[in-house]
Amino acid sequence: MSFKEKFKEGIITAKDFSREDIDYILQKGKEMIHNNKKADVLKGKILATLFFEPSTRTRLSFESAMYRLGGNVIGFHTGDVSSTKKGESIADTIRTVENYSDGIVIRHNLEGAARLAAKFAKIPIINAGSGSGEHPTQALLDLLTIIQEGHKLDGLNIGIMGDLKYGRTVHSLSILLSNYEANIYFISPKDLMLRKRDKDYLQQRQVKYKEIEKYRDILNILDILYVTRIQKERFADIEEYDRVKDFYVFTKKDMAETNDNFKIMHPLPRIKEISAEIDDSPKSIYFKQAYYGIPMRKAILAELLSN
Amino acid sequence: MSFKEKFKEGIITAKDFSREDIDYILQKGKEMIHNNKKADVLKGKILATLFFEPSTRTRLSFESAMYRLGGNVIGFHTGDVSSTKKGESIADTIRTVENYSDGIVIRHNLEGAARLAAKFAKIPIINAGSGSGEHPTQALLDLLTIIQEGHKLDGLNIGIMGDLKYGRTVHSLSILLSNYEANIYFISPKDLMLRKRDKDYLQQRQVKYKEIEKYRDILNILDILYVTRIQKERFADIEEYDRVKDFYVFTKKDMAETNDNFKIMHPLPRIKEISAEIDDSPKSIYFKQAYYGIPMRKAILAELLSN
Amino acid sequence: MSFKEKFKEGIITAKDFSREDIDYILQKGKEMIHNNKKADVLKGKILATLFFEPSTRTRLSFESAMYRLGGNVIGFHTGDVSSTKKGESIADTIRTVENYSDGIVIRHNLEGAARLAAKFAKIPIINAGSGSGEHPTQALLDLLTIIQEGHKLDGLNIGIMGDLKYGRTVHSLSILLSNYEANIYFISPKDLMLRKRDKDYLQQRQVKYKEIEKYRDILNILDILYVTRIQKERFADIEEYDRVKDFYVFTKKDMAETNDNFKIMHPLPRIKEISAEIDDSPKSIYFKQAYYGIPMRKAILAELLSN
């Protein structure tokens, strides 16, 4: 079964990806870098971007990728300016918007939103972040970044740090990595450790991982440190947020402890968990990550939406 | 006089349409279904969508139609993010935006807004909903849906149910139908009956209509039941809204009472006036209505904006 | 050095423009009027419009210009719907969005925002309004309007009226005019006079200007009266605003005092500083100004973004 056929309902969860699927779409992403020949591959196609939660980079990244392939974009950006304010269900929104477009990118504060949308839609749905659940296309572009910046996924020593409880990019990334022989160090304050269900999944997949609170001890063995923001909007309790928000600040001094091939990543936006003083280091590749978002999403859109 | 010439100021009210005009534009809408040959008919043209009130489907439908014809779209989505917040008049907004575009779609909470806009604009204005007044392109796509789904407008037995007082789609639909030999049943709670001025218009046009409160008695004689949402945002008095909001809920049991050729429609968004349990019935065509919005609006845009 | 090369970082401040630069880009703007031959000059290019402050005309004007040249547009419209709400710095936003686009138009409430953006960006930045600072592309289209409507910049007698303290269009306009032999009358209530730093700049450039409070005495010697809105949103103190907001209202009676070649301009939106009763006068060219915005911005975009 081809990738296009397997994912004809869209990209909902990283769990749907086999190692073969990942390798295939990463290869397609790689081919999209510096490739302007495919500029008309989605000419006449329309992508709908339905962002029930605020977003800059994910939305603009998808829109840019769509335009780079010759397509067009419609959509709305928050729940406020849409019929959902009038009380409409996700199912109804989807069954309406699918008449206006060839594919739908959806971000929603509820974990099951993308899955629900796919259940009702006749066109592909792309999950662009579902609550504290998943963000699979971010994880794909993260992997593309890692391999393009010189590392292999098998044998990779990666630290994933920050809000592991609510961080959806972290969940999708560790699920994708479960297809490779990676060693994962989950670094977080106790309150923000990976949820049991996420750990159960990784254990079942025999992933080698450790949970730690301090990153300094392992800096010299890491290939990648993947830092995430503590997301204020996920905390029901503001005091819980205040207790952990400044738990990690990666500095120039930390960078000095790292290996030559070490790279530090971040899905952005960053608040202050990575000090701006290391922005110019060749080891800091978080803006390159944003760059790789375009070829990766071009590959995904071309795969799902082209004839 | 050609349609294009007659409507060179745009589509403001259903009252401007003769039977001949309606038949002409419905035929054009019909031709747009499954027609991708006209993909470049509006290449280089720009449509401005000025939505002073929130909207998903109408705005996205127009934008999709414009892109499908090769054109582009600019605009804003609510009064908040525009110069109107700075106190600008509609007349000034229009006289500015007409310099940036080839046609303007406007939704506004004031009934006279589209008319006013047309008075000042040198380019076509399309009324996409003016307060509790009209929504003529919705009514055109409703008619296209009715004829494409197997009914004739002459002799049609149609029930129009819900908020007939504030519902602008209802007003435009009944005005268009006044050009045909339709039998209209206006079904509403007493507080939400058609306003006197609307009834006066229909009487003057010798439309055969009845006003009733209960729909169950007439289900077996209807070809179409057109259900509308009770629009919370139109009520000055929240108690008035609470009294009527759950007045009608069309269920599976109701559906069992209908004729073989019966169809149920809704301009959407729906809250709970139609039970989701009948969504899969072939008699439920409210999502198809959204589908017909694209060819209908493509026809309108092509007619008004092409050279 | 070519214009393109000199402005490769973008259009940040009017102070960067020599007389030669202005004449060059005005000539390019002139050529864009009624020119549809360049419809594909920016095909495949993407412009990002980042509006941290509300805007209708400037944003739509840039977007329209971009589409008219065959390009596409991504962006966001206020700080609310973006990652900046999550606490991201301008520098990070820019270093992300530059990966998605070929040029960035930015409006921000802080004066230094565009300058800061240009410091971090590898692609051209266009300042579309930075706090109370500058709005250079507005000033360029103002000059294009003046020369297209029959006046010469050398020897021009121009009154600039309204909020000269906070008005960014005024600042950029007077800076551009400092390259010509214009006579400027700054007309404002005492509280809203030009700031010292702005006057220092003009004096240093040996600009001939006068500061006055009343415009009626000089109406018969003016070629152009450039009226600006008192911008409520710039006042920290609402009482200060209330004291000056209705200071000027230009009426039909005023118009009768003006010369045959007199023209009245306004960057819009207007509240009531120009009475609507003179809108139809051939001397009122504020809507034409909006019209000239398109060719001027097409010229700027083509110059900065084409290959």
- The 10s digit of each residue's pLDDT in A214-230 is 999 999 999 999 999 88
Q: CA distances (Å), A162 to each of A204, A249, B132, C272, in order?
A: 23, 10, 51, 53
Residue A86 pLDDT = 61
Q: Determine the average pLDDT of the residues in B53-76.
A: 94
Residues of C in contact with A61 (CB under 8 A): 100
**Is B61 a residue whose pLDDT tops 80?**
yes
Question: Contact A83/B57, CB-based, under 8 Å?
Answer: yes
| Residue B45, phi-psi category: left (phi > 0), alpha (psi -120 to 50), beta (remainder) | beta
pLDDT grade, residue C97 (50/70/90)?
very high
Stretch among A280-284, B154-158, B228-232 having the lowest mean pLDDT: B228-232
Q: Which of C34, C37, C86, C197 is catalytic?
A: C86
**Are C255 and C278 a contacting pair, CB within 8 Å?**
yes
The two structure tokens encoding residue A80: 């406020």
- In this complex, the residue of C76, C92, C101 whose CB is nearest that of residue A269 is C92
Strand pairing report for B157-161 and B125-130: unpaired
Q: Determine the average pLDDT of the residues in B221-250.
A: 86
Spatial neighbors of B131 by CB under 8 A, at least 6 apart, are B108, B109, B110, B111, B113, B168
Q: Is A107 designated active site? A: yes
**Is C229 a residue whose pLDDT tops 60?**
yes
pLDDT grade, residue C84 (50/70/90)?
low
DSSP state for residue A239 in the 8-state scheme? H
- Burial label, A187 (beta-carbon count in 10 A; 0-12, 13-18, 19+): buried
Spatial neighbors of A287 by CB under 8 A, at least 6 apart, are A279, C95, C96, C99
Question: Contact C290/B95, CB-based, under 8 Å?
Answer: yes
**Is C111 a residue whose pLDDT tops 70?**
yes
Q: What is the complex's ipTM, to 2 decimals?
A: 0.94
**Is B79 a residue whose pLDDT tops 60?**
no
Q: Is B135 designated active site? A: yes
**Is B66 a residue whose pLDDT tops 90?**
yes
**Are A177 and A206 a contacting pair, CB within 8 Å?**
no
Q: Is C137 designated active site? A: no
Show the CA angle centred on residue B107, arms to residues B104 and B113, nearest 5°: 85
Query: CATH 3.40.50.1370 region(s) of chain C?
Result: 3-134+293-305, 150-284
Closest B-chain CA to A85: B54
pLDDT grade, residue A55 (50/70/90)?
confident
Angstrom distance (rounded) from CA B269 to CA B286: 10
Class of CATH domain C150-284: alpha beta
Residue from B36, B40, B53, B60 to probe the interface with A (highest A Cβ count within 10 Å) = B60
Residue from B100, B104, B307 to probe the interface with C (highest C Cβ count within 10 Å) = B100
Q: Residue C28: name the closest of C307, C306, C305, C302 by CA.
A: C302
pLDDT grade, residue C224 (50/70/90)?
very high
- In this complex, the residue of B63, B78, B290 whose CB is nearest that of residue A74 is B63
Angstrom distance (rounded) from CA B225 to CA A295: 49
> Other CB atoms closer than 10 Å to residue C292's CB: what's the count?
26
The subunits that touch chain A, with at least 3 C-beta pairs less than 8 Å apart, are B, C
pLDDT grade, residue C246 (50/70/90)?
confident
Q: State the fold for domain A3-134+293-305.
A: Rossmann fold (3.40.50)
Helix (H) or strand (E) holding C29: helix C19-32
Residues of A in contact with C48 (CB under 8 A): 60
Type of residue numbered A166: Y
Residue A85 pLDDT = 57
Residue A79 pLDDT = 45
Q: Determine the average pLDDT of the residues in C125-133.
A: 95
Question: Contact A97/B269, CB-based, under 8 Å?
Answer: no
The subunits that touch chain B, with at least 3 C-beta pairs less than 8 Å apart, are A, C
Angstrom distance (rounded) from CA B156 to CA B259: 13
Question: Contact C57/B83, CB-based, under 8 Å?
Answer: yes
The alpha carbon of residue A200 is apart from the nearest alpha carbon of chain C, in Å, by 31
Q: What percent of chain A has pLDDT over 90?
A: 83
Q: Which of C28, C45, C107, C298 is catalytic?
A: C107
Residues of C in contact with A293 (CB under 8 A): 99-100
Question: Contact B64/A74, CB-based, under 8 Å?
Answer: yes
DSSP state for residue A85 in the 8-state scheme? G
**Is A184 a residue whose pLDDT tops 90?**
yes
- In this complex, the residue of A39, A233, A290 whose CB is nearest that of residue C44 is A39
The alpha carbon of residue C288 is apart from the nearest alpha carbon of chain B, in Å, by 8
**Are C192 and C230 a contacting pair, CB within 8 Å?**
yes
Query: Contacts by C272-278 with C-beta closer than 8 Å and gap 24+?
Result: C272/C246, C273/C162, C273/C227, C273/C228, C273/C229, C273/C230, C273/C248, C273/C249, C274/C227, C274/C249, C274/C250, C275/C249, C275/C250, C275/C251, C276/B89, C276/B91, C277/C251, C277/C252, C278/C250, C278/C251, C278/C252
DSSP state for residue C159 in the 8-state scheme? E
The alpha carbon of residue B307 is apart from the nearest alpha carbon of chain C, in Å, by 14
**Is B239 a residue whose pLDDT tops 90?**
no
**Is A58 a residue whose pLDDT tops 80?**
yes
Q: Is B234 designated active site? A: no
**Are B60 and A74 a contacting pair, CB within 8 Å?**
yes
Angstrom distance (rounded) from CA C260 to CA C145: 17
- In this complex, the residue of C72, C80, C82 whose CB is nearest that of residue A67 is C72
Q: In what order do the strands lie in the sheet with C103-108?
A: C10-11, C125-130, C103-108, C46-51, C72-76
Residue A103 pLDDT = 98
**Is B307 a residue whose pLDDT tops 80?**
yes
Residues of C in contact with A39 (CB under 8 A): 44
Type of residue numbered A252: K
Type of residue numbered B206: Q
Q: Is A57 designated active site? A: yes
pLDDT digits (tens, 9 = 90+) for A109-131: 999 999 999 999 999 999 999 99
pLDDT digits (tens, 9 = 90+) for A73-108: 999 887 444 445 566 889 999 999 999 999 999 999
In the block, residue with structure tokens 């007698």: C157
Q: Determine the average pLDDT of the residues in C37-65.
A: 92
pLDDT digits (tens, 9 = 90+) for A18-54: 999 999 999 999 999 987 677 799 999 999 999 998 8
Stretch among A108-112, C25-29, C173-177 having the lowest mean pLDDT: A108-112
